[in-house]
Amino acid sequence: MSATAFVLGATTAALVGAVGVLPGTTGGDVVAEGWAATGFLAMALPGVAGGAWLVREHGRSGSRFIAALQAGIFVRIVLAAVVAFGAARAGGSAITASIAGLAAGFLPVMAFEMAWFARLRGTRDVGTETRG
């Protein structure tokens, strides 16, 4: 499967998460809606992009897969911190809405990514077997 197929699937998973979680968390508050959307994008975009990079590097020799994994985690942590600090400064409903947005962007994409790699049943299937 290609990185393009991963991007389509992960984007669909993210959108399902957004539609399922975000409308009920903001209560019509414009500030909360903005923070929910910011949190969602801060997790979904690097999740999809980082996952596509992982798919591309999976099975190749060298440590590029590990670099892709670490970069994806690092970017998500930094963006989550930026969103959390910004929402904390805004106060009120922004905090709760940003947490809902972060969760809506992270959880479905991560679940899709885990399912994507779990379907690869053995290392022989992807050419990464290191033993003879």
Structurally, how many domains does the chain consist of? 1
Residue 128 within any structural domain of the chain: no
pLDDT reading at 8 higher than 80: yes
CB-count burial class (<10 Å; 0-12, 13-18, 19+) for 19:
exposed
Average pLDDT score over the chain: 86
Which distant-in-sequence residues (6+ apart) come within 8 Å of 126 by Cβ? 58, 59, 120
Residue 23 within any structural domain of the chain: yes
Residue 41 within any structural domain of the chain: yes
Give the pLDDT confidence of 71-106 residue by residue, as tens digits: 999 999 999 999 999 999 998 889 999 999 999 999
pTM: 0.83
Give the pLDDT confidence of 29-88 residue by residue, as tens digits: 888 889 999 999 999 999 999 999 999 988 777 788 899 999 999 999 999 999 999 999
Task: Please tell me the predicted confidence (pLDDT) of residue 90.
Answer: 93
Q: Which domain holds residue 116?
A: 3-120
Residue 130 within any structural domain of the chain: no
Residue 24 within any structural domain of the chain: yes
Residue 32 within any structural domain of the chain: yes
Residue 126 within any structural domain of the chain: no
Residue 116 within any structural domain of the chain: yes
